[in-house]
Structure 1
């Protein structure tokens, strides 16, 4: 059923080997802006990632990757983050306050000498990139009791690299990584090769029902299938008359069956028309992180009800309505802003 749609969006090859690696590298390098240093190196790392993940090296996929790189880092493997020391101190203060740790104890811990001779506070004041901050946090967690207490053994730096990919995603998808790992996957994310490999996996490593790349770019920011799920939420709202946040989150993680989230609660009001009880609806919504959710009974029936109410066909993908919330962001931005900026870069790349 999805074959015709997926033909234009699938990322993994179905048949014979593609062009020679040297030709792929040359095509990638040609599409990287001329101002970028070491275009050959960037192209080589991208080609290896494509080959290792069996991603088709066509113009659309190459330009999708280059557009995200340009948006997220401007082709810098470990980009500088503005005001990072201030952001880091605020995060430490927030965690200390939540744990009722006096500021005096935090300040005392930051005066302790670190492995390079400087105090942790001095190193914190000098950090410029997420890699530097991540390394500092790792040392504090491993060597300073206050660090273990504040961070609960979990490094607060959760994204990194040229594509700003999630470190948890990289750690969960490390099988098949084509390079030796002298340290950890976290450290690999901050290298050019690792940041590109895992960023490409997050961007192109799954099949979608989308006919436009802008929805894949929105998913890169909001999570796999968020654009498809936001369209489903809009259909639920149309069918029920219940306003919903169109954020792509179909379930509240860990919610008991008797305390569902707003989307699940709205879907349940359609139970008689859907011919599904609460358990069946929950099971269907749990597949919201899979491609086949859109072909399931729940989605098909909800869209049929919604389109009957609207009197028109409804889109199967829409950019989620999400305000980006990160201490690194200094102005109000949204997933739509991100997706549209990347899409503009993508179209520029295709024209090169």
Structure 2
């Protein structure tokens, strides 16, 4: 062997020995993933449509609401909140309602009409009164109503007038005194969602936990800060494994976990052959949001599913599990696991986690028929525009 070849072989051997002694080769470490940008108030203000008044104040209200929910103010949750505000009120803390005097007059007349002439007479006597400090009677004030807050104040003072003057107004007939009550009059108020994010008044009262009266809670919803705070809580204050905010927008309209439950209803219908309304409610509820005693169509289908596919799941356990349908904990129940696993086995498909509920919206404040899907898709378009605005080069 030539000398250069011997030296080369020795050199290669030495290098291999050195590498084996020094351990595996060290590769350059990958750079850490960039942290998401936390938006400042000026940056949030630039995401709000340019025609909106007081953009800095709206931006600050959103940031404070996110902080209250312990949600970092990254672009995604910020744009979700902004999209709902724009959809629900166009950034109005106290939104106006189209044809409000006509809506209320029709509701009052229809209610009084149940009593015939006596009812109409009693209603006329009540509307002829004046609230303390007011120059106009309720009848004349009714014609001037424009905003939700106007209407809430009108009904609050109307009920106070009723309680002050009852039973003198209704001495003409016992029937009138039975049907004209403060509770029934209060139920004629169509404002069940209020403020810039149209939050359910009942939800806001539950979150307040009795610290303030209902009029005080309603009044807070008509402030910029209160409306955004309660609305952000309603939108982001619960956990769900949605891959798109579209489903969270649908839940905002239809109720917690409506999109998750609508997907389960669709899978249940396929397994049982029952045609179910995919409204996201597995139970029936009363006006106070409490479960009713009678079985819903979905619950009846679940009982049929148990009989056919999951006999080891007791009816008692199933009924107990379904009571958790408005909670994240429902996904940990035997009923959830049984239905999802059976669907995968029978159909050979992975069960979807969410789908848009099929729900028609009912509100005197709506001028035409709308659905939850329409609402969610409309909000989502605003959300996507907000994201695009954030990505666009700034001034």
TM-score (norm 2): 0.78
The alignment partner of 1:269 has SS state of helix
Task: Supply the distance in 1 between the matched residues of 2:64 and 2:182 (Cα, whole angstroms).
Answer: 37
1:336 aligns with 2:395: no
Task: Supply the distance in 2 between the matched residues of 1:141 and 1:87 (Cα, whole angstroms).
Answer: 18
User: Match of 1:105?
Assistant: 122
The alignment partner of 2:78 has SS state of helix
- Report the count of equivalent residues: 328
The alignment partner of 2:278 has SS state of coil
Q: 1:281 aligns with which of 318, 321, 345?
A: 318
The question of whether the paired residues in 2 share the 8 Å contact of 1:219 and 1:225 is answered with: yes
TM-superposed deviation, 1:76: 0.8
Task: Specify whether residues 230 and 131 from structure 1 end up closer, same or farther in structure 2 by C-alpha distance, changes over 3 A only.
Answer: same
User: Match of 1:248?
Assistant: 280
The question of whether the paired residues in 2 share the 8 Å contact of 1:251 and 1:264 is answered with: yes
Task: Supply the distance in 2 between the matched residues of 1:233 and 1:277 (Cα, whole angstroms).
Answer: 20
1:148 aligns with 2:182: yes
Q: 1:237 aligns with which of 247, 266, 269?
A: 269
Task: Specify whether residues 154 and 85 from structure 1 end up closer, same or farther in structure 2 by C-alpha distance, changes over 3 A only.
Answer: closer
- What is the RMSD computed on CA atoms of the aligned residues? 2.4
Task: Specify whether residues 312 and 149 from structure 1 end up closer, same or farther in structure 2 by C-alpha distance, changes over 3 A only.
Answer: closer
Q: 1:266 aligns with which of 301, 319, 322?
A: 301
Task: Specify whether residues 176 and 264 from structure 1 end up closer, same or farther in structure 2 by C-alpha distance, changes over 3 A only.
Answer: closer
User: Match of 1:5?
Assistant: none
Q: 2:197 aligns with which of 158, 163, 172?
A: 163
TM-superposed deviation, 1:99: 6.6
The question of whether the paired residues in 1 share the 8 Å contact of 2:259 and 2:355 is answered with: yes
User: Match of 2:20?
Assistant: none
Q: 1:228 aligns with which of 260, 276, 290?
A: 260
1:251-294 alpha-carbon deviations (Å, 9 max, x no partner): 123433xx411101001012242222221111110010111212
TM-score (norm 1): 0.87
User: Match of 1:292?
Assistant: 329
Task: Specify whether residues 154 and 121 from structure 1 end up closer, same or farther in structure 2 by C-alpha distance, changes over 3 A only.
Answer: closer
Q: 1:46 aligns with which of 62, 75, 78?
A: 62
Task: Supply the distance in 2 between the matched residues of 1:320 and 1:242 (Cα, whole angstroms).
Answer: 17
Q: 1:136 aligns with which of 141, 147, 154?
A: 154
Unaligned residue ranges in structure 2 (runs of 5+): 1-35, 167-179, 286-290, 390-395
Q: 2:143 aligns with which of 125, 143, 152?
A: 125
Bigger shift: 214-223 or 245-254? 245-254
Bigger shift: 101-110 or 334-343? 101-110
Task: Specify whether residues 298 and 98 from structure 1 end up closer, same or farther in structure 2 by C-alpha distance, changes over 3 A only.
Answer: farther
Unaligned residue ranges in structure 1 (runs of 5+): 1-17
Task: Specify whether residues 185 and 149 from structure 1 end up closer, same or farther in structure 2 by C-alpha distance, changes over 3 A only.
Answer: closer
Task: Specify whether residues 149 and 98 from structure 1 end up closer, same or farther in structure 2 by C-alpha distance, changes over 3 A only.
Answer: farther
Structure exhibiting the larger radius of gyration computed from Cα positions: 2
Q: Which has the higher contact order (CA 8 A, sep 6+)?
A: 1
Task: Specify whether residues 149 and 173 from structure 1 end up closer, same or farther in structure 2 by C-alpha distance, changes over 3 A only.
Answer: closer
1:28 aligns with 2:44: yes
